[in-house]
Amino acid sequence: MGSYMLLLQAHFFLTMLLIFVTKSQTNFQIAKPNCTDRCGDVSIPFPFGTGKGCYLSERFLVACNHTGDPPKPFLNNTNLDIANISLEGQLTMFPFIQKDCYDRKGTRVFHNNPYIYFEGFTVNNTANKLTVVGCDTYGSVLGSRNTKSDYQTGCTSTCARKDDLEERSCSGVGCCQVSIPKGVWDVELTLQSFSNFTDSYDNHTTTLWDFDKCSYAFLAEESAFNFSPNSLSILKNVETLPMMVDWAIDGGTCEESQKNMSSYACKSTNSSCKGTDNGYRCYCSEGYEGNPYLIDGCKDIDECKIPRLNNCVYRCVNTMGSFKCVCPKGYNGDGKKDRQGCFRGQSLVFRLVAGISLGITVFVLVVCWLLSILNRRKLNTMKQKFFLQNGGLLLQEKLTQRQQSPIMAKIFTSAELKKATNDFHDSRIVGQGGYGTVYKGLLADNRLVAIKKSKEVDPHQVEQFINEVIVLSQINHKNVVKLLGCCLETQAPLLVYEFIENGSLFEHIHNKTKARSLSWDIRLRVATETAGVLAYLHSIASPPIIHRDIKSTNILLDTSFTAKVSDFGTSRLVPLDQTQLSTMVQGTFGYLDPEYMQTNQLTQKSDVYSFGVVLVELLTGKKALSYDRPVEERSLANYFLLALERSCLFQVLDDNIKCEGKSKELTSVAMLAKLCLLVKREDRSSMNEVAKELEGLRLARKHSWNQTEPNEEESESLLSGKMKAFAIANSDGSSSTAIGYESIRDHIILPIGGGR
C-alpha cells in the first residue's frame, strides 16, 4: 500500500519541484512592493496577495496558514490549499476526495460530502475529469456554470470480482471517468451504492465487501490518477488530489477594459491582453518575462545567457525583446545554427571586382533602357512623319465626312500588319511585281487578308492616292477584290485587301496541270465577269475609274472560279468633265495600250486593250510576252493578230478548249479580242459593248443556241440586241458561221491588216 501511495503522489511532487526550480531561477519581481511574495513553498504573484493592499480584489486574497511547517496558502474563505499559482491563469488546489464506506452488513460507516465553490474562478474542463471508483457505485457532480445554468453529469462503476479489474482502465469496471462542461464555478459531488456492497457471487461464497468496502469520487487532474485493482483499498488513505482551476481578471473584454486605464490590469508597458470566457488575462510580450500586472513588471529576457533560447554559433548580442547572432570578422551569414551559420567571407579584391561588375551591369542596363526609349520615340516620330507624309490627316478628314457610309476603309497601324504577317516574313509572300510585294496576313479577328507593300510612292500624288483609297473602298462589286483599308505609318503606304484563296488567272492558264481544269465554260465566265467589272468602273462608278493594269495576274479566282479583279495601285480616277488623262506611262509590257505608250494619254480604251490581251491568253493559253517567239510575235497581241490575218486561228488556240468550245463561240470571242486590240483607240469597242457581247455569248451557250442558227427576231427577244451571222475562214480553207452583235460585225468588216 505504501508504494502505491508514493506512486499516486508522484505527479504532485514532481510538479512542485519543477515549479520551485523555475521560480528560484527568476530574477524579476512578482508581488507588489513591500508585499510578501511567498507562503511556504508557494509563490504568490500579484494580482494574488496575502496582505492588505497586496492583492487586486477580494477574490485574489490568499490566506497563509502558519500552523504547519511549512506554512500553507489557502484560497480566501475556502479550505482548499493552493499548490501553485501560475501567471498564465491557472491555480493548482487540493480538494478533498468524497468517500462512502460500508461494513459487512451493509451499514454505512463513513461518508463525507465535500463542496467546492470558487468566486470568479472556474474548473479547467480539459485538465480535470470526474473520476468514480468502486464496484457498486454511481457518482455524479452537480453545480453551476458561467452561463447561469445548472449542470449535472456522472457515471456508473460496477464489478463482480476483483479479477475483472484492469490496470489503467476507467471504462466502467471498477472505475469510470466523465468530462465536465466548460465554465463550472461550483462543484457538489454525490456518491450512491446500489447494494451497499452486500451482493454475493460464486454461489454466495464471495461478496463485494470482501474486496471493496468503499466508493470514491473526485474532481481532479486526469494525469494525477492512474487506476489499478489496488485503488479500491489504497484510496481509503488518500485525502486529496490536485485539481486545476482557471482564473482571470473580471472586467469585460480587453477592448472594454482598455477604455478605463486606471482599472485596466495589464500595467506593464511590454504586455498584451487576451480575452477569456470570464474576463481577460495579461501576458508579457514575446522576448519579455515577469509579471504583466505590475508597472514595469515585464523585463527583457537576456536570451544570450540562456543557451536554450538562442541558436547562435559564434556570439550572441542581446536586444530589447530579442537577440541577434554575430559572426566573427571576415565571416558572413546569419550566425544561426539551423540556418546559414557563419562562413568565410570573400576577399576585398573579390568584393571590389563584384561591386564594379555590378555597377557596370547596372550602367549597361540603364543605357539599354534609355536607348530603347529613344528608339521607341524615334520610331513613333517616324511613324507620325510617314502618316502625315502619306496623307493620314487628309484620309481621316475624308473618312469623317463619309462616316455615314456603310462601307468604309480602315486605317491600320503598322504594328497590326506586322503581327498579321509575322513581321513581313518571306514565307508569307504570295506575289511580287514591279510595284511591290503581296503578303498573306491573318488579322486579330481571324480574317485572312492580302497586304500589298509598295516599293515607292510619288509624294506629289498623295491627295490623289487618298481619293483613290476612299473611292475604291466603296466599290461594292462581287467581282472586285475588296479594299479593306490601308496603313500610312510606313514609308510607302500598305494596302489591305480581302484574301482570295485560289490564286490568279495567270497561274491557272500557264500551269499545265491547272489549265486542264480551266474549262471553256470557266474561261468564258471569267472573261464575262472581268469585262463586267471594267464596264462598272468606266460607266457606273463615280467618278469613273481606269484600272490601268489589267492582266491575268491581277485577276484572282476564288474556289468556285469566280473572277476577282485586284491591284488598283496604278488606277486613276477620271474627272467627270474629262475623257482622257495625261500621265507617265505605267503598266505591264505585253498588256500596255500602244497608243497610250506613244501619247501618254490614258483613256478607258487603254483598259479595253489590256482586256483584249487577257482574252487572247484565255483563248491561246500563251503568255502576253514571250522571248521564245520570233521578234514580231513576242507580243501575244501581235502573235494573235498575225494568226487571224493568216487564217490560222484554230492552230493557235489552247488544246484544252479546242474540243470543248464550239467553233462559232471561239471565233466570236476571237473577233471580240481583235476589236479590243485595234491600234486606234476610237476604233475599239467600249467595255460596255464588250461586256454585253460576252454576256450574250454566255446566254447563247447556256440555251444551246449554237446548235441551230436563231433568227434575228429570237435574238432580239432574248438578248435585247441585234445578232448577225457571219463567216470566218478556218485554217483548213473551210468557213465557219459566227454569231455576234451587229456592232462586232460592223467592226469585222474592217480589213484584218488594220489590227496592227
pLDDT per residue as tens digits for the range 634-643? 899 999 999 9
336 is in an annotated binding site: no
Helix (H) or strand (E) holding 379: helix 348-389
Q: Is 385 left (phi over 0), alpha (psi -120 to 50) or beta?
A: alpha
Q: Which of 86-95, 152-161, 736-745 has the lowest mean pLDDT?
A: 736-745
Higher pLDDT, 701 or 322: 322
Residues with Cβ < 8 Å from 364, sequence gap 6 or more? Answer: none
- pLDDT > 70 in the chain, percent: 83
| Active site annotation includes 549 | yes
For the full predicted model, state whether its pTM sits above 0.75. no
- What pLDDT was estimated at residue 714? 39
CA distance 507 to 112: 119
567 CB burial (10 A radius; 0-12, 13-18, 19+): buried
**Residue among 402, 412, 387, 549 at smallest CA distance from 474:** 402
Residues with Cβ < 8 Å from 704, sequence gap 6 or more? Answer: none
CA distance 519 to 356: 78
Mean pLDDT of all residues in 413-422: 92
SS3 readout for 223-251: HHCCCCCCHHHHHHHCCECCEEEECCECC
- What pLDDT was estimated at residue 401? 64
Q: Which of 41-50, 691-700, 743-752 has the lowest mean pLDDT?
A: 743-752
Confidence of residue 79 (pLDDT cuts 50, 70, 90): confident
For residue 61, pLDDT over 70 is answered with yes
For residue 502, pLDDT over 80 is answered with yes
Residues with Cβ < 8 Å from 75, sequence gap 6 or more? Answer: 62, 63, 82, 91, 93, 118
Q: Is 656 left (phi over 0), alpha (psi -120 to 50) or beta?
A: alpha
- What pLDDT was estimated at residue 748? 28
- Number of residues written out for the chain: 756
578 CB burial (10 A radius; 0-12, 13-18, 19+): exposed
**Residue among 339, 252, 306 at smallest CA distance from 27:** 306
Q: Which DSSP string corresponds to 612-634? A: HHHHHHHHH---SB-TTS-GGGS
- What pLDDT was estimated at residue 390? 76
CA distance 726 to 688: 22
- What pLDDT was estimated at residue 754? 33
Mean pLDDT of all residues in 349-361: 86
Q: Which of 201-205, 446-450, 546-550, 664-668 has the lowest mean pLDDT?
A: 201-205
- What pLDDT was estimated at residue 458? 67
For residue 730, pLDDT over 60 is answered with no
Mean pLDDT of all residues in 661-682: 91
Confidence of residue 725 (pLDDT cuts 50, 70, 90): very low
Tell me the CATH number for domain 505-575+582-754. 1.10.510.10
- What pLDDT was estimated at residue 315? 92
Please check whether residue 162 is in contact with residue 175, taking contact to mean a CB–CB distance below 8 angstroms: no
For residue 742, pLDDT over 50 is answered with no
Mean pLDDT of all residues in 168-188: 92
Backbone angles phi, psi at 20, to 5 degrees: -65, -45
CA distance 136 to 193: 5
User: Of residues 37, 246, 549, 607, which has the active-site annotation?
Assistant: 549
CA distance 613 to 678: 11
- What pLDDT was estimated at residue 7? 43
Please check whether residue 438 is in contact with residue 450, taking contact to mean a CB–CB distance below 8 angstroms: yes
The third-level CATH classification (topology) of the domain covering 390-498 is Phosphorylase Kinase; domain 1 (3.30.200)
CA distance 642 to 742: 24
- What pLDDT was estimated at residue 100? 95
- What pLDDT was estimated at residue 348? 63
Confidence of residue 407 (pLDDT cuts 50, 70, 90): low
Distances, alpha carbon 633 to alpha carbons 362, 626, 630, in Å: 72, 8, 5
Mean pLDDT of all residues in 262-271: 94
- What pLDDT was estimated at residue 751? 29
**3-state SS class at 727:** strand
Domain layout of the chain by residue ranges: 1-87, 94-246, 390-498, 505-575+582-754
Mean pLDDT of all residues in 475-489: 87
- What pLDDT was estimated at residue 278? 83
Residues with Cβ < 8 Å from 492, sequence gap 6 or more? Answer: 436, 453, 454, 455, 456, 457
